[in-house]
Amino acid sequence: MTSYVLRKLLRLGLVLLVVAAASFLLMNLLPGDVALALLGNEATPEAVAQVRAELGLDQPLLMRYLHWLGGFLCGDLGRSYITQVPVMESILDRLPVTIELMLLSQGLALLIAVPTGVLCAYKAGSRIDQLANAVGLFLLAAPVFILAILLMFLFALKLRWLPSTGYVPFMTDPVRNLAHLALPALAIALAEWPSLFAVLRGDMIKTLQQDYIALAKAKGLGPAFILFRHALRPSSFTLVTLSGLQIAATIAGALVVETIFGLPGIGRMLTGAVYNRDMMLVQGCVAVISVGYVLINFGVDLIYALLDPRVRQ
């Protein structure tokens, strides 16, 4: 186990370096000039040169990278070109909203997917299984922004059960905070559910055909014990991997959902920064989100090893 963790840590370090370098290069190798983008096409060459010097763009690429990487490691991501606010500060300001949204939505998705997946695998082919599959097929075809608009239309605008836009911090008022996050989280969770459900159901059906399940039955164990203590763990490998990879989809979902529901999260900030061509902010957001994504998938690898003794060696 130790050697497995060490190997994964080594890999994590390498991947983080790649991610950092890629975030940097993305912004620095693409055609187009930041200074020109900032000042507009009518800018004088002198003004452009001055801005370039201010931003350090006249330095060689490698120097700029090392400078940026040093800052990145110390949590300094530069300042926004437009508001002049330190990027890290803006990100830390917005991050809690997004993290809460992602935790709620991913938790909700798993909370629905695990019981439904297990139940439908156990009763594969039954009415309830067919129904769940049909629902899954429909939800799979409904993009997250359509779900978000639909939920908003139904529950916020027509039924008026929940607020449509806005945000209240958790510390200020937990109930209103959750009320504001309920629909956005549900929208993402509903979009995530079908794939998590399908994967768990499929793997579970395969597991239930294994001889060790027959042996568990032959031992006289009951169905609940067999399903949750024997079958669930070996059936959840793909689910765990997928829920790590699905974070990417959740991020896309968060971008849209935060925009639709007016949540002050990192996604909405990033979308705004893209419109405003605030490259420093875009770069910072991309770097932070990517690092978070890599760390989550590192955690997933560790969970995987805890679940499956065979991969530890």
Partner 1 sequence: MMDAGLPLLEVTDLATHFHTQRGLLRAVDGVSFSVRRGQTLGIVGESGSGKSALARTIIRILSKRHTTTTGRITFEGRDLLTVSEPDMRDIRGRDIAMVFQDPTSSLNPVKQVGVQIEEVLARHLGLRGRAAQTRAIELLTSVGMPLPQERLHQYPHQLSGGMRQRVAIAIALACEPKLLIADEPTTALDVTIQAQILDLLHRRQKAHHMAMILISHDLGVVAGYTDTVAVMYAGQIVEQASTRSLFRNCRMPYTAALMRSAPNLSDPPHTRLRAITGRPPDMVLPPPGCRFEPRCDDATDICRNRRPALSASDADGTHRYACWHPVASPGASA
Partner 2 sequence: MNALADDPGHETASPVGATIPMRVRDRLGLRFWLPAAWITMVVVLAATASLLPLPSPIETDFTALSNWPDRAHWFGTDQLGRDILSRAIFGARISLTVGLLAPALGLGIGMLLGMTAGYFRGRVEIVIGAAMDAVMAFPGILVVLAVTAYVGASVPLLVILLGVLTVPTFMRVARANTLVFAQHDFVLAARAMGATHWRVLSLELLPNVMIPILIYALLVVSRIIVVEGVLSFLGLSLPAPWPTWGNMIADGQVELATLPYIPFIPAALMFLTVLSINLIGERLRARTDLRGSVL
Which residues are at the interface with partner 1 (CB under 8 A)?
125-126, 210-212, 214-222, 230, 233-234, 307-310
Binding site for partner 2 (CB under 8 A): 15, 18-19, 22, 26-27, 30-32, 137-138, 140-146, 149-150, 152-153, 157, 209-211, 214, 245, 247-248, 251-252, 255-256, 259-260, 270-271, 273-275, 277, 279, 282-283, 285-286, 289-290, 293-294, 297
Q: How many CB atoms are located within 10 Å of the residue 305 CB?
A: 17
> Please, what is the minimum distance in Å from the beta carbon of residue 231 to partner 1?
9
Nearer to partner 2, 43 or 252 (CB): 252
At how many degrees (to 10) do helices 61-73 and 2-29 cross?
A: 130
CB 308 to partner 1: min, Å: 6
Instruction: Name the token pair of 269.
Output: 């900030």
Largest Cα span, the chain: 84
Contact of residue 230 among partner 1, partner 2, none (CB under 5-8 Å per partner type)? partner 1
260 binds, among partner 1, partner 2, none (CB under 5 to 8 A by kind): partner 2
Residue 57 to residue 60: CA distance in whole angstroms: 8
Question: CB of residue 124 vs partner 2: minimum separation in angstroms?
Answer: 12
Provide the sign of the torsion angle of the four alpha carbons 52, 56, 60, 61, taken in this order: negative
Cβ closest to partner 2, residue 170 vs residue 237: 237
Asked if 222 contacts 142 with a C-beta cutoff of 8 angstroms, the reply is no
Tell me which of partner 2, partner 1, none is bound by residue 40, counting a contact when its beta carbon lies within the kind-specific cut-off of 5 to 8 angstroms: none
| Token representation of residue 155 | 């529950």
State phi, psi for 160 to the nearest 5 degrees: 55, 35
- In the complex, what is the shortest distance from the CB of residue 300 to partner 1, in angstroms, rounded to a whole number? 17
Tell me the residue type at 95. L
Residue 31 phi/psi, 5-degree rounding, is -65, 155
12 vs 221, which CB is nearer to partner 1? 221
